[in-house]
Structure 1
């Protein structure tokens, strides 16, 4: 761990959860005076109780402004919005506000590979971790994907590499964070309730490039104009990827091959995860920049079937391929999933009604979906949207289990059965993971 002077600095940890808990312990070990604050009462929060018993000052039940007195730095939970009254006042007082990713970047002896995007970042991060595994880079996968970054950064050594999935919430709270290789996959309109506008959301994503130099690399989606504009404004060495363009200095597809700087890497036909081609191209760019051999890349890409619940290939039954994309909790993600297939698709969709419409799915109902099987609170809203699109092959069922059985009965050899709900899961399930697991179990029963 790099020596960074936090001795006697007064730090406020705002929001405990996993990141706040890890940051509090780390900063106290570095000599900081740490106060931990959470909106939940201490007595109801096991992590708060644990910190209190370890000697931390813990304030629960809200975010009183007097906590700011004498504070040098705020490390906030990524999910707490900046319009929170305490944070607004902190900005007026010019108190720096960061997320634990900033602390991790300060102390880590290992270089960072950082991945972000509106869609596909978990799959890409996981795939990069697999491509780098067993090499001299000794990857540690962390960030929004599960393990708190500052927790692993504290013990990371120079001969390791931190492969980190980062959200817009995490990136907005960075100041000097400096990845050696950054990846920006795409930018769609998302999290407007947090960021306030698409522009603010996009600017948060673009912070992944902010501190890179010509000795660093920016891997970016050349098919996304907004992503390209951010990358091209950076100082990093640019490595574009594209599914449509022949890129002399990047990664693309040519004559049936995935190509890196005009070098054939792997045949597209050999990829086990053809439905996530953009994520694959980005991961290949990182692997080649990191010195991974073509043999290793070929081995991993012919055996990687995706991340569970994220356009995950589950299996094949009587010539029908089943894909679990339960993580698709909005229509943007479902459109992305449908774009991944040329085969006829039996789409399983529906769930919690958040009051939004599905008109943006109309072109996909017209061109991509062979039959819609819908369930949950939004079932009839999705059916009405399909009717507007001229898709009359619609079946309403009670739940995901019945949807799988119905899909099998209605499908033919060569069809794709895709669970991509375009809705949150909370009307019938505790989590999208539970919904996806039920889909998988139902498929295996076939």
Structure 2
């Protein structure tokens, strides 16, 4: 029997183990918390002929087990690579990546395809194991894959019919040697495409355009037909004067007014241009797209309006895991804003976030590991409308006692960083925020 190691017993790891088992492999599931310990995994490599290792995306490359595999010349692949290896190649892949908005974009593309009557599935970083989907024997016409930079490391061999990078902003600086290393990893999404495929290019993203125009190797790797997107200038799919247009056969076809979009904010306009581009490529009826875009609901933990008390609206944006995401969240609301932010210290620059808080935010509550850092930076700019209360429970008790609920305003929970200092993940953080809000602030 062939042997393989699956390193990491999360969602993708379990999916990979299940698929390998069905394909006749003896699987060693290595995970220091719930499986075989990694030091025992090293012994397994010594004592067994291992064909390859499937590495879960969150595991860094400098672990002893992976160093051992490199020395033994054992191939290390991703769960994405494994699933694609066994996938029915008649299925077309639609893949999206980016720093912000990729889960919303991938999910809404999947939902649009389903709404249009197409046979589609959603997998990848959106929370559904690609390998599990293949293991279950599903052979849809389309699979929409959300791919993180971690999943795009090591250049997975996935051939995407449609691929796009939504945006690039600083993130994961503790994982990569430089910011451009992180950015360029995202461009692996275009590898293995050909001139029968489509590459979605966001003309408005300065970093995407900088890398394409300044790096011939990257520019040359985009062999697919380029579909240009913009919220500022004419393109294949674009926004002008409050209307989204599709440019088809040199004709500008109006699709929907931006005021009619159910997903609000500048950041969601960026996501919607990608969703519309996929609809255009797949010839989805414009009326179906229009109806979908005017009625679809935001995802949980992403600018989620979940609670109201008198004239105060509470927004859960726990998925705001970097400064750029929170800046876009702040810009999405015209009302007076009370911001709650802070969390795990990713050692990223807060300058743009602090500038936006000073410019736009009425009051800010600071929590988590970065609260003292943010407090110092606010003080340096003579901003005094803040409290450093460390925890969500402290913040919500203070809001209960001091907020004027009769005033029209938004309480925006958008941490601008990761959750690992106080919570398991951003979903856990958002769930706890909603629970505490209901418990402390009271019923609607």
TM-score by length of 1: 0.84
Q: Does 1:25 align with 2:18?
A: yes
Q: CA deviation at 1:278?
A: 0.9
Contact 1:136 1:159 in 2 (8 A): no
Answer whether contact 1:365 1:389 (CA < 8 A) is retained: no
Indicate the SS of the match to 2:174.
Answer: helix
Cα shift at 1:411: 7.6
Please list, as runs of the form range in 1=range in 2, the aligned pairs for 1:250-269 lying within 5 A after superposition.
Answer: 251-261=237-247, 262-269=252-259
What is the aligned partner in structure 2 of residue 445 from structure 1? 443
Deviation at 1:96, TM superposition (A): 2.6
Higher mean alpha-carbon deviation, 403-412 vs 381-390, is at: 403-412
Match of 1:270 in 2: 260
Aligned match for 1:73, one of 44, 52, 64: 52
Alignment-derived partner of residue 3 in structure 1: none
- Tell whether the 8 Å contact from 1:314 to 1:322 is kept in structure 2 after alignment: yes
- Say if 2:145 is the partner of 1:164: yes
Unaligned stretches of 5+ in structure 1?
1-7, 49-57
Report if aligned partners of 1:114, 1:182 keep a CA contact under 8 Å in 2: yes
SS of structure 2 residue aligned to 1:81: coil
| 1:83 paired to 2:76 | no
Match of 1:412 among 391, 407, 413: 407
CA contact (8 A) 2:16 2:132 kept: yes
Counterpart for residue 115 of structure 1:
96
Uncovered stretches (5+) of structure 2, i.e. residues with no partner = 213-217
Q: State the superposition RMSD in angstroms.
A: 2.9
- Aligned 8 A contact 1:219 1:241 in 2: yes
The answer to whether the aligner puts 1:216 opposite 2:210 as a matched pair is no
Distance 1:400 1:153, change over 3 A: farther
Task: Tell me the CA shift for residue 322 of structure 1.
Answer: 3.4
Cα–Cα, structure 1 residues 144 and 371, in superposed 2: closer, same or farther, change >3 Å? same
Kept in 1: contact 2:166–2:274 (CA 8 A): yes
C-alpha change, 1:76 and 1:37, in structure 2 (3 Å) is same
| Native 8 Å contact 1:305 1:312 kept in 2 | no
Query: Distance in 2 between the 1:220 and 1:125 partners?
Result: 16
Q: Give distance in 2, aligned partners of 1:403 and 1:102.
A: 49
| SS of residue paired to 1:133 | helix
Tell whether the 8 Å contact from 1:350 to 1:377 is kept in structure 2 after alignment.
Answer: yes
**1:53 match:** none
1:207 aligns with 2:188: yes
For 1:412, what is the secondary structure of its paired residue?
A: coil
- The C-alpha deviation readout for 1:249-287, integer Å capped at 9, x for no partner, is 2x2211211112122111100011122211111111112
